[in-house]
Structure 1
Amino acid sequence: MLILLLSISTIFAKSIQISKAIEIEKQTNLKHDNEHHKFKIKVPGNGIVQLEPTIGTLIFAIEIQDKNANVALERANNLVTKALDEIKYNLLGENYTIETGIFQLSLRYDYTTGVQQLVGYLVTNQLYVTTKNLQLIGKIITVGVNAGLNRIDGINYSNNQEEIVKANDEALKLAIQDAQRKAKQIAKSLNLKFSEILDFKYLYNYNSPVSNSNGPRVAYDVDSKISGTPTPIFAAKNNIKVDIELKVLLK
């Protein structure tokens, strides 16, 4: 009798365990079904703002070559002094600043005979003329060249920090709106609804400074003159771009 009771108890216990296992499996499957129509997706967004430059910097360069280093240096110094005086005189009352840039003394060699032969010294000196009045750029070019500045290395256009920050904020706003729009479109295509934003990632920020300083150099002879009519210069807009990524829940 005792053996029979133990057998019945064992069978009953196994039955309970199997029953619990089936119940747990059903609960698991039910939870899976509830989550079946929820999707977590990552959506990129980008925003671009075109910023009108408000600062222009004209880069002049003086090049003087002579067989004697002292003579080359003296001629370069005299030319810089003369150019500065004429720029200040012709731009009197205008809003601008002048700074010196690269100063270099280099040796020049001749290799036509197959043997290295020193032929002279080259002095290079740069001047940066910066203004917030972009309409003044053409006049600065005319004045500078007529003052003896025999090379123009380019024009850099830029904005102040406050303008750049404001444009970045606007580009970020547009990037988020773009990602949300894409997420809603995806949800609509899947017959789902845009539920919530789960995560945000800042991917990339691009600020393209407007510049033609890497373009072809505009060169003039020291003694050349150009007409008094200002050279027409038109600044391109600066592109501020922000890329982001949103992780969103659709259901």
Structure 2
Amino acid sequence: MIFLLLSISISTVIARSIQANKAYQIESYSNLKHEDHHHKFKIKVPGTGIVQLEPSIGTVIFAIEIQDKNANVALENANTLVTKAVDEIKYSLFRDDYTIQTGIFQLSLRYDYTSGTQQLIGYSVTNQLYVTTKDLQLIGKIITVGVNAGLNRIDGVNYSNNQDEMVKANNEAIKLAIQDAERKAKQIAESLKLEFSEILHFKYLDNYNNPVTDVYGPKAAGMATKSSGTPTPIFAAKNNVRVDIELKVLLK
């Protein structure tokens, strides 16, 4: 009887010891998992890279606007003015580096509503002319020549860059964006008393190529189209190429 009680007691102690040991192992494992969880972070960090380009191409956008009661007369006058303007521009810029082409053409109806009813009073013809050059010093002269040739409206001056320049700037902007994201990740790691470990994932968010347009005020219809021979001063702004990315990084 005594032997049986002793055996039961010993078995109970061993069972409790095994359970305690299991509990310790589970607790230790949980602590390790908990510790590992709090010492490794996966975070997403945005990065931005911006490259400024000096423009290498300039385009002056001229527009002529002719109004008449008769559609055929409006069209004929518009065609005559465009032909005359192109000839004068070619003559005045004979040895200069430029290209010239026509743009948007539009014929629209004109109505009068003063009597309370819609009445057709004529037609309006608008035609655009683009003069493009790689010599940006020529922009002012192009404007002066175009106005003197009878082009009664200037819709703006666009500045841009060629494809090779844009690709090179875009690649540089990507590098800057990655460097920006890495800098932010290291700063976060330092604040958390951790270390920047590795880049896990790269995501290309977007890129923005922002051509700059300097708008030259349009001349009102009916104003004198002759101007002095002094070139109009026009200054080109820089073209911004921006890239936004996102890095997923590991801190530990």
TM-score by structure 2 length? 0.87
State the aligned residue count: 249
SS in 2 for 1:93: coil
Show the counterpart of 1:117: 119
SS in 2 for 1:226: coil
CA deviations 1:11-61 (Å, max 9, x no partner) are: 967864663343233223234324432332222221111111111111111
Show the counterpart of 1:88: 90
- How many Å separate the matches in 1 of 2:189 and 2:197? 9
Q: Following TM superposition, by how much is the alpha carbon of 1:197 offset from its aligned partner in structure 2, in angstroms?
A: 1.7
Q: CA 1:223–1:31 in 2, change beyond 3 Å: closer, same or farther?
A: closer
Show the counterpart of 1:168: 170
8 Å CA contact 2:154, 2:217 repeated in 1: no
Q: Following TM superposition, by how much is the alpha carbon of 1:232 offset from its aligned partner in structure 2, in angstroms?
A: 0.5
Show the counterpart of 1:193: 195
CA deviations 1:216-237 (Å, max 9, x no partner) are: 5344647520110100001111
SS in 2 for 1:136: helix
Kindly provide the amino acid, as one letter, of the partner of residue 67 in structure 1.
K
Structure 1 window deviating more from structure 2 (137-146 vs 32-41): it is: 32-41
Show the counterpart of 1:241: 242
Q: CA 1:6–1:157 in 2, change beyond 3 Å: closer, same or farther?
A: same
- How many Å separate the matches in 1 of 2:19 and 2:191? 45
Q: CA 1:34–1:245 in 2, change beyond 3 Å: closer, same or farther?
A: same
Q: Following TM superposition, by how much is the alpha carbon of 1:115 offset from its aligned partner in structure 2, in angstroms?
A: 2.9
8 Å CA contact 2:151, 2:225 repeated in 1: no
Structure 2 unaligned residues grouped into runs of 5+: none
SS in 2 for 1:157: strand
- How many Å separate the matches in 1 of 2:223 and 2:91? 19
Show the counterpart of 1:250: 251
User: Does residue 1:64 correspond to 2:69, yes or no?
Assistant: no
8 Å CA contact 1:152, 1:219 repeated in 2: no
Show the counterpart of 1:154: 156
> Cα RMSD between the aligned structures?
2.6
8 Å CA contact 2:57, 2:136 repeated in 1: yes
Structure 1 window deviating more from structure 2 (192-201 vs 83-92): it is: 192-201
SS in 2 for 1:74: helix
Kindly provide the amino acid, as one letter, of the partner of residue 151 in structure 1.
R
Q: Following TM superposition, by how much is the alpha carbon of 1:204 offset from its aligned partner in structure 2, in angstroms?
A: 2.4
Q: Show the 5 A alignment for 1:129-144.
A: 129-144=131-146
TM-score by structure 1 length? 0.87
Kindly provide the amino acid, as one letter, of the partner of residue 238 in structure 2.
K
Structure 1 unaligned residues grouped into runs of 5+: none
User: Does residue 1:217 correspond to 2:218, yes or no?
Assistant: yes
Q: CA 1:35–1:64 in 2, change beyond 3 Å: closer, same or farther?
A: closer
SS in 1 for 2:151: coil
User: Does residue 1:226 correspond to 2:227, yes or no?
Assistant: yes
Kindly provide the amino acid, as one letter, of the partner of residue 183 in structure 2.
R
8 Å CA contact 1:55, 1:158 repeated in 2: yes
Structure 1 window deviating more from structure 2 (116-125 vs 81-90): it is: 116-125
CA deviations 1:50-81 (Å, max 9, x no partner) are: 11111111111111111222211111111111
SS in 1 for 2:188: helix
